[in-house]
Amino acid sequence: MIRLSQITKTYGSGSVSVPVLRGLDLEIRDGEFVAIMGPSGSGKSTLMNIIGFLDKQTGGTYSLNGEDVKQANEKQLAGLRNKHIGFVFQQFFLLPRLNAQKNVETPLLYAGVSKKERSERALGLLEKVGLKDRTGHLPSELSGGQKQRVAIARALVNHPTVILADEPTGALDSRTGAQIMDLLTELNREGKTVIIVTHEEEIAAWTDRIIVLRDGLIVDDRQVTS
Amino acid sequence: MNIRESFALALSSIWNHKIRSILTMLGIIIGVSAVIIVVAIGDGARQQMADDLFSTDENAIPLYFEQTTYEENGEMMWVEPPAVTAEHLDTVNEVPGVKYVLGTNSGWGTMNHNEHTADMEIIGVDNQYFIAKDLTLLEGRRLNTRDTDSYSRVAMIDSLTRENMFAPDEEAVGAIIDINNNPYKVVGVYESTLPPEFRHMEGFSNGQMLMPRTLISMMFGSPEIDTINIIADQPDYLTETGFAAAEKLTELTGSDEGMYVAEDMSAYVEEFDSFYLTITLFISSIAGISLFVGGIGVMNIMLVSVTERTREIGLRKALGATRGQILRQFLIESVTLTSLGGLIGIGFAALVTAVAAVFLPFSPIINPVVVIVGILFSSMIGIVFGILPANKASKLSPIDALRYE
């Protein structure tokens, strides 16, 4: 359960300070499938960074599973990212010199998981995302859709609370994009909380709930009726 | 991520940039190998010198007279060394540690035989000389006590003299030779003491001759004993034995204007050591500069690497890497780079010293301590010059790093 209350985020200070989030309240329950939308500059990326522990809010409280994370230092934030968040990026961000399996294993290196278990978990997830026969391939030998599948397997590997996907289909053609959305939907059905940041209505339509931001505030929060 | 995995990652990263890595390591390679090579050659030369000083000439140490008074009535004065007799030497031979006392004298003479003429050194000896020196008798007999006591006009010639002055089929033993227009009888021929490679060198030696020292004293007017060499029981205590013998001889001869002293061989070694230390320090400081510049090169390339891998760093942080883990990864990479450079430097030094051993008159000795210090030092350079780039990497904000194009 994600609970944000009166979250503000201001970049800079004094006369040059730029408020990006202006007192935002949001609750996302476990197992929800949410899209965060909004034009550029609306603060949706900043919101995603705060939820993903990549950034800290200036004011307000953020609690994950009932735990207030305001006091966390940099090292603890790294641990929270590792343990609770599975990131999926528009540009995939796979390590180019590591094969698919090693890429999926990377978060487990930082979690201190043994080599044998890392390998088992990575191979299991690559099979789950349909890349059983691509485990030894380098990212350069994979298609865009396959790369994003590897990235999703990597996001899942440390059993995170939340999958945070930032424009996950932005670099893919619509057919491949649909396959990726299918996969994320399936993960959500299995009980994962999935949050997608997007500016495409089509993508947002896959989710159950659409939150729209404008100028650092939530202007719309609606359930999707299919 | 454990240390082993970090090293594997570092090695693959170095391997992926082979040329860059080699160029970066060059300063470290040159610095480390230079120190090892210089120390190895210096140690080899020192060992050779010590061997030459202490092991050849049957561990002999010469005693010589050193005057303690130099002036008389404001004028320079030369003190005649007191006469040393055979009895004195017998007493010196009693000093603990002394194996033999060699009392000799010498003269130069012009030898004429079979229309050959040669100037050569004649050493005056007694029979003790043959006990101490392992001369190989080729023909005839050695000089003996009777020759010494009776001033016999006899001589032994060395093989070189025989070759130069006699026809190969001519009988040398029993021949009468002419030295400074005086006749002497050859009683024996001994193997030349010169190393074979020097025997036929132009102008190096015309050969050598032995005569009873009593005879030399009579014919050439020199003291019966003017050169004294002490041979010690134990070569390791040669210098100490020499000192003791010199003290005894001074006591026996009783001159108050001077004393007998032994040449201190270790002084030569000390002199070499101080010279060698200067050279080593000089080369080491140049190597130190090379290592320093190499270290800066490592720092530079690591900074480039951090910039190039900004997005990787951002991603790793997003996946849960802590600052410490990123810092460690880059630090291990720079340490691996410099340690590898150190190892290559050691290998290079081993190669160079092996080749040098073929050309040098002695074998360079690689000092294991220097090798270990070389490895430690190159690793340390990796830490010192890796800290700044690694710290820069660890401080990158994941958001900025991921957005980096």
Mean pLDDT, residues B222-240 taken together: 83
Reported as a single tens digit per residue, the pLDDT across A93-142 is 999 989 999 999 999 999 989 999 999 999 999 999 999 999 999 999 99
pLDDT at residue B57 greater than cutoff 60: no
What does residue A166 show for φ and ψ, rounded to 5 degrees? -100, 105
Q: Which residues of chain B make contact with A158, given a CB cutoff of 8 A?
A: 320
Q: Are residues B168 and B305 in the same domain?
A: no
Q: Residue A16 domain-assigned?
A: no
CA A63 to chain centre: 17
Element (H, E) at A222: strand A217-223
Judge contact between A90 and A171, C-beta under 8 A.
yes
**Does the model's ipTM exceed the 0.90 cut?**
yes
Q: Residue A26 domain-assigned?
A: no
Query: What chain B residue is nearest to A114 in terms of C-alpha separation?
Result: B1
pLDDT at residue A52 greater than cutoff 90: yes
C-alpha to C-alpha distance for B176 and A154, rounded to whole angstroms: 106
Q: Are residues B247 and B173 in the same domain?
A: yes
Domain that holds residue B30: 3-52+269-403
pLDDT at residue A192 greater than cutoff 90: yes
Q: Are residues B159 and B250 in the same domain?
A: yes
Q: Are residues B91 and B44 in the same domain?
A: no
Q: Are residues B274 and B300 in the same domain?
A: yes
Q: Are residues B35 and B136 in the same domain?
A: no
Mutate to test the interface with B, among A11, A82, A119, A163 (most CBs of B within 10 A): A82
Q: Are residues B209 and B133 in the same domain?
A: yes
CB contact under 8 A, B319 and A79: no
Q: Are residues B346 and B275 in the same domain?
A: yes
CB contact under 8 A, A110 and B5: no
Q: Which residues of chain A make contact with B16, given a CB cutoff of 8 A?
A: 97
Domain count of the fold of chain B = 2
B203 confidence band (pLDDT: 50, 70, 90) = low
Query: What chain B residue is nearest to A155 in terms of C-alpha separation?
Result: B319
Q: Residue A74 domain-assigned?
A: no
Q: How far is B14 from chain A (nearest CA, A)?
A: 12
Q: Residue B58 domain-assigned?
A: no
Give the pLDDT of residue B53.
64
Contacts of A169 (CB under 8 A, 6+ apart): A148, A176, A177, A178, A180, A181, A198, A200, A203
Domain that holds residue A127: 31-53+79-223
CATH code (residue A163): 3.40.50.300
Domain count of the fold of chain A = 1
Mean pLDDT, residues B267-275 taken together: 79
Tokens encoding B6: 């970090």
Q: How far is A224 from chain B (nearest CA, A)?
A: 30
Minimum-distance CB partner of A75 among B12, B318, B322: B322
Q: Residue A19 domain-assigned?
A: no
Q: Are residues B167 and B124 in the same domain?
A: yes
Q: Per CB distance under 8 Å, which residues of A are interface residues toward B?
A: 49, 52, 54-55, 74-75, 78-79, 81-83, 87, 89, 93, 95, 97, 106-107, 109-112, 154, 158
**B206, B229, B254 - which closes a domain:** B254
B99 confidence band (pLDDT: 50, 70, 90) = confident
Q: Residue A66 domain-assigned?
A: no
C-alpha to C-alpha distance for A103 and A5, rounded to whole angstroms: 35
For residue B73, the 8-state DSSP code is T
Contacts of B72 (CB under 8 A, 6+ apart): none
Tokens encoding B275: 């010279």
pTM of the model as a whole: 0.70
Reported as a single tens digit per residue, the pLDDT across B155-187 is 999 998 888 888 888 888 999 999 888 899 999
In terms of average pLDDT, the best of A55-59, A182-186, B96-100, B261-265 is: A182-186
Q: Residue B143 domain-assigned?
A: yes
Reported as a single tens digit per residue, the pLDDT across B273-297 is 888 888 888 888 888 888 888 899 9
B202 confidence band (pLDDT: 50, 70, 90) = low
Mutate to test the interface with B, among A54, A102, A197 (most CBs of B within 10 A): A54
CA B167 to chain centre: 42
Q: Residue A180 domain-assigned?
A: yes
Tokens encoding A185: 């939907």
B63 confidence band (pLDDT: 50, 70, 90) = confident
Minimum-distance CB partner of A78 among B12, B311, B321: B321
Minimum-distance CB partner of B317 among A78, A89, A112: A78
CB neighbour class for B203 (10 Å; exposed up to 12, middle 13-18, buried from 19): exposed
What does residue B171 show for φ and ψ, rounded to 5 degrees? -75, 120
Q: Are residues B46 and B101 in the same domain?
A: no
Q: Residue A140 domain-assigned?
A: yes
Q: Per CB distance under 8 Å, which residues of B are interface residues toward A?
A: 1, 5, 12, 16, 311-312, 315-325, 398-399, 402
Query: Which residues sit opposite A163 in a β-bridge?
Result: A86, A194
Mutate to test the interface with B, among A11, A57, A73, A95 (most CBs of B within 10 A): A95
C-alpha to C-alpha distance for A150 and A93, rounded to whole angstroms: 10
